Structure formats: C-alpha cells, structure tokens
Structure 1
Amino acid sequence: MRGHRAQLNIKPSLATRFPSLSKGSDIDPDVHMFTEDIHLAIMPIGARTYKQKEFSVEFQGEASDCEMAKEIVGELAEFDRYDTAGMVCDAVDNIARYLAWEGQAAFEIIKYEERIYINGFTSKNLFKLFNWYLQIIPPGDRDLWKRKFSLIGKEKVWKVEIPHELGGVRGYKNILEKLRKYNHLGPSFYRRDLERGIAAKGFDFFKYVRSSEIYFNSVTRAWGWNRRDWSQDKCTEFYSFHRMLNFKYAQALLREHIIEEINRLLGRLEIKCKLIVTGLPTSSDILQIRNDMQKGELSFTAVSDKVAM
C-alpha cells in the first residue's frame, strides 16, 4: 500500500514530523522504558502466541466491504503484511506506540481516485478550531515543510486518544512529565561530582534510589508499571503479580479501545465491516483473574499462563 501510494505521488496536507522538537539522545530512560512497555506485546508479536490458543482475527461483513476494511487497517500498520492477523497486530501495536509517545495518535484521511489512504502525523502543535485543524509548524522545521502552518477540515483527520480510564490525554502527559523529574543516576549536582571524580558529601545515593522507586510507583500506579523490576527485595510475590495484572489490565483496556476506534473509523468511512479480535484476555477477564488470585483460587503460575502472550 505504501509503495502504491509513493508511485501515485500522493502528498499529505499535514506535516508528518517535527525533527526540531525531537529530544533525541535527551529522552529520559524511564520515559523510554514506560512508553516501550505499554505497546510491547499489547498484541501477539507477529500474530504468534503460544499461550492464547484461541486467538483469532476476523473481519465481519460483506466481502467487498471487508476488503476495503483490510486496506484501511493495512494503512495503519507500520509494515506491509499479507497475512490478516499479522497486519491487524501490527496496526494495533503501531497506534499504541503513537499513544504511548504523545497520549494521542493522529492520522490524515486521504481520498484519491476512489481509494482511501491513511497517513500518520505528529499530534504536536495541532489545534482544533471549530470544523478545522490548524497545525503550527515550528520555525526549525519550516524549511523542511516549506510553510508556516497547515489547515485541514476536521473530516479529514482521525484521532485516537488515551482512554479516560487511563487518565486521558492530559493525565497521561502529566505522567510522562512527572517521570522526567527523577533521574535514576542521581540529581544533577551528584552526576556533576561523579564526572569530576568528587565524592559527594552528605548525600545518600541509596536513599535517593529508594525514594525515586516510591515516586515512580506512585506516578504510574494507574498503569501498574513495574519498571522491568521483578525482584522481590522490597515487596512480596503476591504484590508483584498483583501489579503485573494491573499492567495487563491497562494494556487490555488500551487494546480494546484501539480496536473500538478502528471500527468507528470504518463506520465513519461508510465501510460496513467490523474488526473482531477474540481469544486474548479481555480487561474483564483480567479483573476476574486478579479477583481469583486474591481469593487464593489461582496459583501464580496459573495467573501467568492466563495472561501471557
């Protein structure tokens, strides 16, 4: 699809990226881990799962509409794929990646010669003005895009946002901002002293680390993120699994939200076909698993098997 689009020389109306706003090597490691973990295995990687044997992907509707729906979902995927399940997994993962980065994912709907193309673009500097979207191009990127702004009708933009159950766009961006406040290598004065070979006096690095762990756990409590730490030095095995289930629950909520939004897009485009994904633990399933674990009716091994991809 992307190769076909390139051959037709289809140019989006909106700027897709702003390199001048990229933090590059300054990206906070905790923010990087958090955003990566959110979309990691939100769907079976490559549509292959050894635990969820009932996993399946289906497009329900008239054959012609379902073919159109597959083309749309293929546009949302990062890579061109020919297997339906792999394409859907890639599309959901790609949207989840956008959401993890910015709290929202924005796409331009391009209609060209009776076909529909979907092009992702950055949601930064994007403002809604009545029935329009205004995109302000930063000064550092105006030579790249040859303009100062872009204006497009709202009917040509499709947006997906972090669901309100997970804080919404504003709440999610607040989490990312708070994650940047603590540096796991120590405060700036401590790092400067280390670079100079000076031992900081009166500063307890281990207390700092412990305080930062408490802070990170508090900030990401709604997500149940464990910072890739499965050690039980400071918590019980039960707590580790409880937190893991909270994270799996958040991922399931996000997955279900993305699939629902894809189906809304298909309806908006008057494509009478529905994307159905089954065989993965739903948010309701995970709440039940957590409840059964709390009552002692499920072992930790059973819990892990039920939610693993």
Structure 2
Amino acid sequence: MIRLAQRPKSIKRSTLRVARHFPSLREDLGPGASMFMRDIPLSIMPIRARDAGTYNARIIGTNHEVERATALLQSLTRYARTNLKELVGDAITEIATNVAWYGRAPYEISNRDDVRLTSFTPRRLFVTPWLCVQAVPRTDRESWKEAFILIPRRDLWVVEVPKALGGYHGYRKILRELARFRDTTPKFWMKDLERRQTDSHFNFVEYRREVEIYECRVTRRWGWNRRDFSSRNWTEFALFYRVMTFRWAQATLREHILLELNLLLSQLRIKAKIKVSGLPTPENILGLRSEMVFGNVSYSKAYEMMSI
C-alpha cells in the first residue's frame, strides 16, 4: 500500500504539474476486461444515496474542519452535491471507478482556496517514497512540453487495489489475462469466414464456453460472475456463492478507500473523519456466506441481506 508522505503546512501551490492523460496510450482490453472493470464500482455505494434507508454518512469535526473535508470530497466528484450521503457515495464510487480501470488511481494535491485533488492517468507513472516520475510518450511530448515530469511524493495521493484482493500487481495480472481473449472469435476462424471457408472440426460454441470458464478462473478471487445468471455455467449454489464473493470484494474495496480517505485527511492536517454506517462489511458478508454454505440461510435471504 502506498502512503502519502507528511505534507508541510507551508506549501501553497495552485498550478498542476502532472500530465492528465496520454492519448497515444489508449488500448482496447476487450469485452471481458471492460465488463469486469465496469462492474467493480457498480453498486459499491447505494445508487440513490439520499433515500437509502440504512446507509448513513457523516463527517466528524468542527464546522471549519468539516467544510475543508467537504471541499476535498467535492473535488473528487463530477456533480455538485449538497447532500452529504450523496457526496460521500459519489466520491467513493469515483475513486473505485478509477482504481478499477488500472489497479491504481493517482491524484495530485493542489492548494487553491482549499485542498483539491485532481485525478490523472496512472500510465507511465513510476512511484518512489520520495519522488514520482511521469515518462511522457514521445508522441504526446508536444502537448505536454516535457519528456519527464517530476512530482514530489508529498504532492500525490495514490489509491491501489488492497492486498486482500491481490494488490496492484495482482490486479494488473488479471487484466492482462482477461485481455488474452479480447476478440469474440479467434482470428483464424474470422479469416476462414472471410474466405468463405469453414473448418468442420472447430466448435465455436465450445470455444466460447472454454473462454468463459477461463475468465471465471482468472477472476475467482473477486467472485465476478461475468453478468451470467443462467444455469448453463452455474449451479444455483455456485452462482450465489460467486455473487456473495463479489459483494465481499466490493465491500473490501469500499472500506479500503474510506480508510485511505481518512488517512489523507489526517496527513493534510484536516482534523475531521468520514464515517459510513449501515452498509454490509466484508466480515458480515463472509459470515453470511458461511451461513448459506451450511444451509442456515436460504439463497434468496442471503442475497437480500447483503444488498445495499
């Protein structure tokens, strides 16, 4: 886990140093990896947070410190939220979305009127305990006017996939393995179709089934079910076990992000703490999954109890 170094109070910086994005490094990881990345932040927080019955969020501290923490959260979100439950929900969802796309979400810390966080691409970013280096691709150097951008470590906040879910390197490995079968059909078969030739020994249905099994094995730590709720690949028990494991993974990531946010507040000397309650914890979900395994809770009841 990468920690933010202590930030001196004297630093006041309003301009951003980092390169926000590198258009030349866009890549297509295929439908499997794309679905996986999009599903992770989906419902990690209640969708209608304002009206969610059990979910609650609050910031503990003096009025001034609460205002500073609120301003920081607002810099993370896309919409101007006035409701604190919605603001905290949006901030955690936005961070989870950025983490899911690459396994690491870096933010530059800047001081304008208040402390602000600005996200930027994690591609070509090299992190050390004291200094971070962005290696700008050759084709993007004209836009950013730099080949290398040096940023003091204290000016960055980096959130990574927690170790319980494989960490940054483990997550990158999952994305690489999912990208192995980025094409729906194998290239040799597409070429045969273009030539109007068919190989009677190639079974496309069986090929797709093997790819689906492979994707399930690659993501078994996360419990991702590939949006497949059919009985073709799953027994009822296996499906619910997988769904509950994915909910555990989401809850683990949610609590990790909340912990990192509170550490950031402390390191920025904002004397406030974000508290979230009323959502299933990873321990709750694992306990519920065990009860389901031993037959003490029905599948439908277990699913209902872990939903947010």
Work out whether the TM-score is over 0.5.
yes
- After superposition, residues 28-67 of structure 1 pair within 5 angstroms as 28-48=30-50, 53-67=53-67
Q: Does 1:119 align with 2:121?
A: no
8 A Cα contact 1:77 1:88, kept in partner: no
Report the CA distance between 1:223 and its aligned residue: 0.4
8 A Cα contact 1:35 1:100, kept in partner: yes
- Cross-structure match for 2:95: 95
- Cross-structure match for 1:287: 286
Q: Which amino acid aligns with 1:98?
A: N
Q: Which amino acid aligns with 1:105?
A: A
Instruction: Supply the distance in 2 between the matched residues of 1:46 and 1:174 (Cα, whole angstroms).
Output: 33
Q: CA offsets, 1:220-239, max 9 Å, x none?
A: 00001110000012321111
Q: Give unpaired runs (5+ residues) of structure 1.
A: 1-9
8 A Cα contact 1:34 1:225, kept in partner: yes
Report the CA distance between 1:253 and its aligned residue: 0.1
Q: Report sequence identity in percent.
A: 39
Report the CA distance between 1:174 and its aligned residue: 0.2
Instruction: Supply the distance in 1 between the matched residues of 2:100 and 2:51 (Cα, whole angstroms).
Output: 23
- Cross-structure match for 1:232: 231
Q: Which amino acid aligns with 2:19?
A: A
- Cross-structure match for 1:298: 297
Q: Which amino acid aligns with 2:16?
A: P
8 A Cα contact 2:50 2:83, kept in partner: no
Instruction: Supply the distance in 1 between the matched residues of 2:128 and 2:164 (Cα, whole angstroms).
Output: 26
Instruction: Supply the distance in 2 between the matched residues of 1:259 and 1:129 (Cα, whole angstroms).
Output: 23
**Structure 1 stretches of at least 4 aligned residues deviating more than 3 Å after TM superposition:** none
Q: Does 1:273 align with 2:264?
A: no
Report the CA distance between 1:181 and its aligned residue: 0.9
DSSP 3-state at the match of 1:44: coil
Q: Give unpaired runs (5+ residues) of structure 2.
A: 1-13
Report the CA distance between 1:214 and its aligned residue: 1.6
- Cross-structure match for 2:3: none
* TM-score, scaled relative to structure 2: 0.92
Report the CA distance between 1:124 and its aligned residue: 1.0
Instruction: Supply the distance in 2 between the matched residues of 1:138 and 1:222 (Cα, whole angstroms).
Output: 34
Instruction: Supply the distance in 1 between the matched residues of 2:129 and 2:307 (Cα, whole angstroms).
Output: 44
Q: CA offsets, 1:225-259, max 9 Å, x none?
A: 11000001232111110000000000000000000
DSSP 3-state at the match of 1:76: coil
Cα 1:31–1:194 shift into 2, 3 Å:
same
